[in-house]
Amino acid sequence: MKIVVLDGYAANPGDISWQEMEELGELTVYERTGPCDIVPRANDAEAVLTNKCRITREVICALPRLRYIGELATGYNNIDVACASEKGVAVTNIPAYSTQSVAQHVFALILEAASRVGEHSRLVKEGEWERCPDFCFWRHPLTEIAGKRLGVIGAGAIGSRVARIGRAFGMTVTEYSPSRCPKETLDSIIEESDIISLNCPLKKDNAEMINSSVIARMKRGTWLVNTARGGLVDESAVAEALKSGQIGMYMADVVTEEPIRGTNPLLGAPNVMLTPHIAWAPYEARVRLMDTAVNNLKAYLEGRRLNRVDG
């Protein structure tokens, strides 16, 4: 089997071996592939693995030998699954590999906002403590998260883990799942939470679910954490709410257009903490991702279904 990895660098920049994948066929790994190069590079491939390259209907129809598409992530909205199903092409994804990592990142952001460890460490190195007339100093108000109300929107594996960690910190936690909870639960989270964490997938019916009207219902100064998808929030509305103080802090690992553009309104807003979509990327999580990618393809070759999303 000829296997082509279109954009392998993000998941494996060289610190993980491709050997197990090589044992399944003739493997070619490209670090990055532009849209115009997808078809030429995958022309003879029977299996194509992608992270963010878009495998559209046009791409699928242009690859006559294609039998398998492996998504090197959990979300697979970059693949035309309906077309793949029509053509008899298997599609797999990598579920649950980053649950621990993303939940950890949620609290890395919350704790940084609460204690400002990174900023105060920088100030110490710049001599601020040495010049201080007192035995200590703090540049910003510090916050204790125990006793705060945490609202978790999205009660899947990651959201449930975030909720467990929140309870371990002594927070009062409310979880919302659209399939299991009444709308009143979501209303309670929006209106009563001190901190709201978005941990749900982006779908047509929840795009920009955090908009100006929803923000107006929040407690003044609410902290908002988004490690899910940038499109869940109206970034312009969030930026305005940060300027007015309605949102006290916005902490995100994702934005609507990635990589972020200099025109993104969040870049000019106060009290914003942004990381470059790295919550999923600890080494241990990426090892799980790679192991699952190998097992998915191996199962397909053996006639078994594993993590199939094509129906």
Looking at the chain, which residues constitute the CATH 3.40.50.720 domain(s)? 2-97+285-301, 99-274
Please report which confidence band the pLDDT of residue 302 belongs to, taking 50, 70 and 90 as the band edges.
Answer: very high
Q: What pLDDT is stored for residue 311 in this prediction?
A: 83
Q: What pLDDT is stored for residue 209 in this prediction?
A: 98
Maximal C-alpha separation, the chain = 74
- pLDDT > 70: percent of the chain: 100
Please report which confidence band the pLDDT of residue 182 belongs to, taking 50, 70 and 90 as the band edges.
Answer: very high
Size (the chain), residues? 311
Joined tokens for residue 42 = 């995958």
C-alpha Rg value of the chain to the nearest Å: 22
pLDDT at 89 over 90: yes
Quick one: 2-97+285-301 is in which CATH superfamily? Answer: NAD(P)-binding Rossmann-like Domain (3.40.50.720)
pLDDT at 306 over 90: yes
**Residue found by looking up tokens 């998915």 in the block:** 296
Q: What is the mean pLDDT of the chain?
A: 97
Sign of CA dihedral 204, 102, 258, 269: positive
Name the residues annotated as catalytic.
Answer: 229, 258, 277
Instruction: List the beta bridge partners of residue 48.
Output: 4, 69
**Residue found by looking up tokens 């990426």 in the block:** 286
Q: Which of these, 280, 141, 127, 168, lies nearest to 223 by C-alpha position? A: 141
d(Cα 206, Cα 26) in Å, to the nearest integer?
41
DSSP one-letter code for 26: E
The backbone torsions φ and ψ at residue 10, rounded to the nearest 5 degrees and listed phi first, read -60, -50
Measured CA distances, 55 to 10, 12, 13, 70, 71 (Å):
17, 20, 22, 10, 10
d(Cα 40, Cα 42) in Å, to the nearest integer?
6
Sign of CA dihedral 221, 188, 104, 288: negative
Query: 99-274 sits in which CATH class?
Result: alpha beta
- pTM exceeding 0.85: yes
Q: What pLDDT is stored for residue 132 in this prediction?
A: 96
Q: What pLDDT is stored for residue 269 in this prediction?
A: 98
